[in-house]
Amino acid sequence: MVLHEVGMRDGLQMEQHTVPTAQKIEWIDRLARTGIDIIQVGSFVHPGKVPQMADTDMLFAELMKPGRKPRTLLFSGLVLNEKGLDRALACGVEMVCLGVSASETHSRKNTGMAIADALERIIATAGRAAAAGLKVQVSVQSAFGCGYEGTVPRERVLEIVRHYLEAGFTAISLADTAGHAVPDQVERMFADARNLDASAGFACHFHNTYGLGLANCNAALKTGVKYVESSVAGLGGCPFTKIAGGNVCTEDFLHMIQRMGFRRDVDLSGCIDVAKSVSAYFGRELPGTVYRVGTIPGE
């Protein structure tokens, strides 16, 4: 499986205190040394709307310098529109993530657009990114429910997936923005999505709003999902959803899968050290568990 660390973006965007660029770089460098596969550095959004992400261009300019990072590591960035993509291209981003919400209310709060308009715009922007040689991942946000609307019809989610596939995009993340998912729902959704194209590379992105994040990750893995997005110390949450819950915690997820025999090549202790550093920086206990209680002796 492929581990995509999103704490520096999806995690920090919810914090009231803006973290200095130098501190972000220190955390990213430390996470890079753990063997995690992809690190999401930031998002190319308007700095007035999400000031915590105002230094994303500077971060990439530093991190993408020749010889600066491990050869196998990818740095990703979130892009919301054409201007964001222009900024990403200008600072050498390798991988861009773009998404559309399956909730009309969340879509309008997040992008100011209806689903249909947002989908058309995102597919066009993703096409430009692919033509420029970037790796592209598209996502369906609020795929398992919405904090404003409640239930999101499964067929609506699958219809967005169909549009992505028809446009040639096969790296697709289903995101539980509101944290409403339950394991059997997750298994059905990913099974249905895989039936549309068995060769597609699906990713999962769960929030732990109601304490089901790890259970939902495990359900996704059972269906063959290979890409998992998580956040160091469990930081995070979408600022445009009704109740923002933290992401699945990276070190908690890693602890689970290593006990199951997977990804023992990733340095769990290094991830825990970063989580402790983040907690100390903010001066509070964060949602993650393993960084506080430690690993199981002998495991």
* ∠ Cα 262 268 271 (to 5°): 130
pLDDT at 223: 96
Residue bearing tokens 């592209």: 136
d(CA 240, CA 218) in angstroms, rounded, equals 27
- Best CA proximity match to 181, nearest among 140, 224, 142, 128: 142
Region of 237 (left: φ > 0; alpha: ψ -120 to 50; beta: rest) is left
Among candidate residues 146, 204, 217, 238, the one labeled active-site is 238
Answer yes or no: are the C-beta atoms of 76 and 138 closer than 8 Å: no
Residue where the block lists tokens 């999806």: 10
The pLDDT score that the predictor gives to residue 272 is 98
Report the distance separating Cα 144 and Cα 131, nearest Å.
31
Please report the pLDDT score of residue 48 as a whole number: 83
Helices (H) and strands (E) in the chain, counts: 11, 8
Residues of the chain with pLDDT under 50: 238-244
Let me know if 249 is a catalytic residue.
no
Domains contained in the chain, CATH given: 2-293 (3.20.20.70)
What single string gives the DSSP state of each residue in 100-143? EES-HHHHHHHHSS-HHHHHHHHHHHHHHHHHTT-EEEEEEETT
- 3-class secondary structure per residue, 171-198: EEEEEECCCCCCHHHHHHHHHHHHHHCC
Q: What is the pLDDT of residue 245?
A: 58
Amino acid (1-letter code) at residue 261: G
